[in-house]
């Protein structure tokens, strides 16, 4: 226990070095893992940005196609074979675009040629007000069609009909070319409540994205994320397989593109990182051993040197003809050699010096001592002055003081060394 107390500083330093090495090693590993995670998320964000941009472009194309058809119909207003050209154009475009419905609905009746009533449909009402809309059509919680509606103008610039185009979810899936985006994983267009808008043929009976996600927790996280944020990434682990679920809001309605991406597709390789960790561990271990040996050697050498110097100091102070004082500002303690007691008949206080020292100075000279002390502290420079000291009988003796500041490396005064000589 005694040896422990004598070497506690060395032991603490070694423990600190150990903690720093272990901390540095752990921080490196964590930073590498964090960097890999950031790279992975950045890669997923890039995939989602690209997917959203591609789908937005395709959706714009679909809307533009319907709008151009509407404008073409306007140009046919004065043509002698307008009905024949019009019917042929609608049939051609219907087959080309995969529409199951493409028809013009006049505003006078709100009914198409095949007697379908659109008058109460919201997309029809918006179209005859001059808006081009792209919406989903629902039945029993399932998306049946994606609908595009746009106004049709006559030669006088007045709306006389609405052009309605519909495609089912499978045709919509092909029209916006989602299959081309699935090299990284499955890709879907969904409403923010999880309702599927685009479906490949094998998902024709599925209404919610919950069914195709790894587990219910992922579905809840995804839907909550889409309700509160424009984009995000969810990590999923199921059956020992890790996946990422990315989502990003599209420019239309409250639709989102969602991708289920395998971790193998987007995660950076960790093999190089594992090798670096081993090499770093060996290097830190070697440095740690060398540092401990150096610290032990330095501490022992310094301790021996300080002990020798201290012994010399006390020997010199003991046998000196001059009074020597050694005052610690931080501890408020003082050492004084035996010369003081021989001259004045008592010992100076060894602790709480600031409270007790003034009692040993002649009252009229105390202010001189205080001012000189302040001057030394403020200027960090030696000072000398004369003041009277009281002996054990209370008689004053005129003395000459020389005080010297002792500083640490940063220039802060930590000690004052003084020499006092009587003038009698």
pLDDT of residue 255 exceeding 90: yes
For the chain, how many structural domains are there in total?
2
Q: Tell me, what's the pLDDT at 1? A: 45
- Domain span at residue 354 reads 321-422
Higher local confidence (pLDDT), 280 or 70: 70
Q: What DSSP string describes 265-281?
A: HHSPP-HHHHHHHHHHH
- 95 CB contacts (<8 Å, ≥6 apart)? none
Q: Tell me, what's the pLDDT at 117? A: 92
> Is 20 part of any domain?
no
Report the b/e string of 327-359 with b at 16+ CB within 10 A: bebeeeebebbebbeebbeeebbeeebeeebee
For residue range 299-320, what is the model confidence (pLDDT) as tens digits?
676 666 655 555 555 555 555 5
Overall size of the chain counted in residues? 424
pLDDT of residue 267 exceeding 90: no
* Helix/strand/coil for 263: helix
268-286: average pLDDT: 64
> Is 213 part of any domain?
yes
Mean pLDDT taken over the chain: 82
**pLDDT more than 70, % of the chain:** 83
Q: Tell me, what's the pLDDT at 258? A: 92
Residue 14 in tokens? 């070694």
pLDDT of residue 2 exceeding 50: no
How far apart CA 67 and CA 388 sit, in angstroms, is 108
Identify the CATH number of the domain in which residue 184 sits. Answer: 3.30.450.20
Q: Exposed, middle or buried by CB within 10 Å (0-12, 13-18, 19+), for 246?
A: buried
Residues 249 and 362 reside in one and the same domain: no
Residues 84 and 151 reside in one and the same domain: yes
Q: Tell me, what's the pLDDT at 4? A: 45
Residues 117 and 204 reside in one and the same domain: yes
Helices (H), 319-400: 338-344, 353-356, 366-379
Q: Tell me, what's the pLDDT at 36? A: 74
| Residue 340 pLDDT grade (very low, low, confident, very high; cuts 50, 70, 90) | confident
């Amino acid at each position: 226990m005694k040896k422990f107390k004598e070497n506690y500083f060395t032991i603490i330093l070694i423990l600190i070095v150990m903690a720093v090495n272990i901390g540095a090693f752990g921080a490196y590993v964590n930073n590498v893992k964090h960097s890999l995670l950031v790279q992975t998320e950045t890669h997923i964000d890039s995939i989602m940005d690209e997917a959203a941009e591609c789908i937005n472009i395709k959706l714009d194309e679909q809307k533009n196609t319907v709008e151009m058809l509407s404008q073409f119909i306007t140009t046919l207003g004065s043509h002698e074979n307008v009905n024949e050209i019009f019917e042929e154009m609608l049939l051609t475009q219907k087959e080309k675009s995969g529409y199951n419905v493409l028809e013009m609905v006049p505003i006078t009746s709100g009914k198409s040629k095949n007697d379908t009533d659109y008058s109460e449909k919201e997309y029809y009402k918006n179209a005859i007000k001059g808006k081009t809309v792209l919406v989903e059509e629902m039945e029993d919680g399932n998306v049946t069609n994606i609908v595009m509606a746009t106004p049709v103008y006559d030669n006088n610039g007045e709306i006389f009909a609405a052009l309605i185009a519909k495609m089912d979810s499978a045709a919509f899936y092909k029209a916006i070319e989602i299959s081309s985006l699935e090299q990284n994983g499955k890709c879907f267009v969904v409403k923010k409540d999880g309702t599927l808008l685009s479906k490949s043929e094998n998902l024709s009976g599925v209404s919610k994205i919950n069914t195709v996600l790894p587990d219910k927790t992922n579905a809840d996280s995804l839907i909550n994320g889409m309700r509160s944020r424009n984009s995000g990434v969810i990590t999923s682990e199921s059956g020992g397989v890790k996946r990422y679920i990315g989502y990003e809001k599209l420019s239309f309605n409250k639709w989102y593109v969602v991708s289920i991406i395998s971790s193998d597709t987007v995660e950076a390789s960790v093999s190089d990182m594992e090798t670096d960790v081993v090499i770093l561990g060996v290097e830190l271990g070697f440095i740690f051993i060398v540092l401990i040996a150096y610290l032990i050697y330095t501490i022992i050498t310094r301790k021996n040197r300080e002990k020798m110097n201290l012994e010399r100091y006390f020997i010199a102070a003991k046998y000196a003809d001059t009074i020597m004082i050694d005052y610690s500002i931080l501890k408020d303690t003082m050492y004084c050699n035996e010369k003081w007691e021989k001259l004045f008949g008592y010992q100076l206080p060894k602790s709480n010096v600031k409270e007790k020292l003034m009692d040993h100075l002649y009252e009229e000279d105390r202010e001189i001592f205080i001012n000189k002390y302040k001057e030394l502290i403020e200027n960090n420079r030696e000072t000398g002055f004369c003041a009277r000291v009281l002996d054990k009988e209370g008689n004053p003796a005129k003395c000459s003081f020389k005080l010297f500041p002792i500083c640490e490396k940063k220039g802060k005064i930590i000690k004052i060394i003084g020499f006092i000589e009587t003038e009698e």
